[in-house]
Chain A
């Protein structure tokens, strides 16, 4: 079957891309120079590779690139408006919600999906939604605070 052409709206821009069936979404997107999404566990456990596929958070390390055909893909690179950061990004900075930063793009994309579905979550809802995103630096308190803070900023 060889290569297949897919049409993807990637961070708001329509793209036509040629991919082989076995190519993973993470590899496709990073290959385009968008390297914010990270490979870490490679087993859908850690969330560092989280992207939004039609608004839903997925592990791009375990999603075939062809699944994005005809759909929207959102990554951390698509959040800021020029030099103006997205409210979730601002909240993560102001609440000191990261240290090394490796998990942060995935954390922020997961948080975006949460706030898009549920703009005013309580702390328990944030913890439940984000429990599949792992951070080995912060201890999570500041991350939960940042997501709640971002919710307030967006309301």
Chain B
């Protein structure tokens, strides 16, 4: 059961922004509801007004150009895991989407909502950060674009302004030599460790340094320092060990139901190796 609230169906972005200005802190933005309604049912949050973004046609689309894949704010995980352009351009992200939560959450939940909630135990933020994705925000003053680590500022905290809404997530189309992978460890409903690796390969070596992000263990996704791996032989076991060591050192795990900090740090190393192995399998 939920306490009483009113849902306002916005049909344009401008209308949604106007409603946000009108209601201020009394209103929450609403799309899939998979996080919002849960929080409200548990009594963790109460909003007397919800602004429904789903009727806005412009937010419901996936658009791909040669340079960028633009995912509208109300696009669901269900759509993303089936979208042919996503599968072609960023197959690792399509694979991640196929394994978010469960089929019902994917059918209703949106990528933008996942990011807006900034729940640390989430899959998309780490790979999106590694891919250099950005979150496009719009207010009456105009639009701005933030990198994932600028947008997610802490546990359940984001840079979303009180007068703004997410209109899209943009993923730059990776260069042809770039490979990406995401692997996770999950024993309960949400991932306890997720590792994303994005790297350009040339003749079996990293072209530059790989981008590695560890998600879910810490308060926010952590970018792993990898400068010393620039040019390293990707399939060399010493590379995997150096990557695992760097990943373990980059995180400050939160102890919770999924395990202690020591345990999680160990698992981060194991999954960093597996993420690299998955990337090499994809490259082969």
Q: List the interface of chain A (C-beta within 8 A of B).
A: 1, 20-24, 27, 42-45, 47, 50, 53, 56-59, 62-64, 66, 110, 113, 128-133
Contact = CB atoms under 8 A, between A and B. Distances in A.
B49 to A, nearest CB: 9
Contacts, number: 68
Contact of A57 (B1, B4, B104): B104
Contacts of B5: 21-22
A132 B101 contact: yes
B235 interface: no
B140 interface: no
A57 to B, nearest CB: 5
B7 A58 contact: no
Cβ-closest 3 pairs across A and B: A132-B102, A1-B6, A22-B2
A62 B33 contact: yes
Contacts of B98: 128
Contacts of A63: 33, 37, 108
Interface string B83-122: 0000000000000001001111101100000000000000
B236 interface: no
B78 interface: yes
Main secondary structure of the interface of A (DSSP, over half): mixed
A64 to B, nearest CB: 7
Contact of A64 (B4, B7, B107): B7
A94 to B, nearest CB: 25
Interface residues of B, number: 23
Interface string B1-16: 1111111000000000
Question: Of residues A62, A113, A129, which shows the largest number of chain B Cβ atoms within 10 Å of its Cβ?
Answer: A62
A64 B37 contact: yes
B104 A58 contact: yes
Nearest to B102: A132
B41 interface: yes
Contact of A21 (B7, B103, B105, B189): B7
A110 B103 CA distance: 9
Nearest to B41: A42
B174 to A, nearest CB: 26
Contact of A62 (B3, B4, B37): B37
A59 B2 contact: no
Contacts of B108: 58-59, 62-63
Nearest to A53: B107
